[in-house]
Amino acid sequence: MEVQATAPRVIHALRFSLGTPVVRAEAELAQQKVYADDPAQGRETVSLLARRTGALAGVNADFFPFTGDVLGLMVRNGELISEPEPRRAVFGWGPSDAVFGYGRWTGTVRLPDGSAAPLAGLNRDCAGGELVLNFPAAGLVRSPQGSIAIVLDAPAEPQPTGALSATVRQVRTDAPRLPVEPGTAVLVVAGAAAQQLASVKPGDVLTFEWRTEGFDWAKVRQAVGGGPWLVRNGQPAVNAQAEGFAPGFSANRHPRTAVGRTPEGDVWLVAIDGRQAMSVGATLEETARILIRLGCVDGINLDGGGSTVLSLFGFAMNRPSDGSERAVSNAVLFYGPRPQPEDGELRIPLESIPPVGGELRLRLLREDGQPIPNAEVLWTAAGAAWIDQGGTLRALRPGPVTVRAFARGRWTERTFEVPAPNASARSSVRSRVVR
């Protein structure tokens, strides 16, 4: 964590080394699928995703609409989840190397009569005139009115470049929300393209070929999209309009998430808070210079704004600008050995509650009343106050606050309310072990 007073700006950053046998990084879908039939439409907060999968840490990744689809390239453990947006930058990594670049996609469907049609993409909604192939990672196929959904045998997960000869099981014209079952794929054909496949029937064989170029897939096992480029060869390299972003997206200060690579091959993931009095955010040029100051020679922007979050041991370390974590479509997660919780409760004593604008230094105590050195403690706060990693709490406005401290394998919470003028304060405490 870093606090810059001149802007002001609060930065959280996580560095990891590829190739270490202790920690691994993986791309993961929210709810581990693209779409779900629930109010969040398949999206999930990074902290909930990390807790559910057992990850130590996570950061948000690609842009998405609120329908939940990942907008750019995504590869999860060698499985192609989403085809690239060709103008947008991509972060890819494998067991020992991290790379940045652009992805290019081509796909073809060959029909029983020998004719061919372009395959537009994978695991996403189908627009008019498109053919989109959905695998179980899609979770759910949402077929537009007038479309055809062709259910196929598909025993294998798609790789970034691959081919598939699949036998038709069913042809559906009445399936606006169709689950994609294991061992199957569903080709959705909409608009004028539906006429070309109107004669397809059960027992027919469709042949698919696709290529995702721009990366060495023998070395890259994970990838997430983002954009635009921020740093190339150690220099700022922001050209947001070339990647389809509006000028204000680059020039205005917003919360930002970014990823960069050092000359040694280490990777930095950075979350910059914004749209708040204690942290105004950053322009893309400022974000690029933050990556350079961390030692990065290459780097790109990821989704930011209300999506920006860096979660550690299941809770956000930063302060998302929406006031709470936003449900997102995918994330970069980190897995490794978890610290074993020690016996005994921990507590956060609260000698007083600061007024708005006031500060209070907090400590974490063991059950016997002995303080835990602050260097061993991670602090985070949600609600009407902010806390730094030195344990100094600042009250921002009247309202409820939850302060959390992590040490020795355990989170401990303290809740209280910053009073309005002439109001009394309330507080409570809770301690629990991270599972």
Each residue's pLDDT tens digit, 322-373: 999 999 999 999 999 999 998 899 999 998 999 999 999 999 999 999 999 9
Mean pLDDT of 383-409: 96
Q: Where are the beta strands (DSSP E) in 77-218?
A: 79-82, 89-93, 98-102, 104-110, 116-118, 121-122, 131-134, 140-142, 148-153, 162-172, 177-179, 184-189, 205-213
Confidence of residue 144 (pLDDT cuts 50, 70, 90): confident
Mean pLDDT of the chain: 94
Q: How far apart are CA 336 and CA 20, in angstroms?
A: 10
pLDDT digits (tens, 9 = 90+) for 74-101: 999 999 999 999 999 999 999 999 999 9
Q: Is residue 53 pLDDT above 90, yes or no?
A: yes
Domains of the chain: 11-101+217-335 (no CATH), 104-213 (2.60.120), 346-418 (2.60.40.1080)
Given this model, what pLDDT does residue 433 score? 52
DSSP conformation class of 35 = -
pLDDT at 2: 60
Q: Where is pLDDT greater, at 421 or 307?
A: 307
What three-state secondary structure class fits 121?
Answer: strand
| Structure confidence by residue, pLDDT tens digits, 262-294 | 999 999 999 999 999 999 999 999 999 999 999
Beta strands 235-236 and 222-225 are unpaired
Q: Output the pLDDT for position 3.
A: 63
Candidates 133, 175, 118; CA nearest to 34 is 133
pLDDT at 45 exceeding the cut of 70: yes
Find the DSSP H helices in 282-430: 284-293
The stretch 45-69 carries a mean pLDDT of 96
Is residue 303's pLDDT more than 60? yes
Q: Who's near 162: CB < 8 A, 6+ residues apart?
A: 80, 209, 210
Query: Can you read off the two tokens belonging to residue 400?
Result: 């409820």
Which residues, other chains included, contact 195 with Cβ-Cβ below 8 Å and sequence gap of 6+?
none
In the structure, what pLDDT confidence band is assigned to residue 5 with cuts at 50, 70 and 90? low
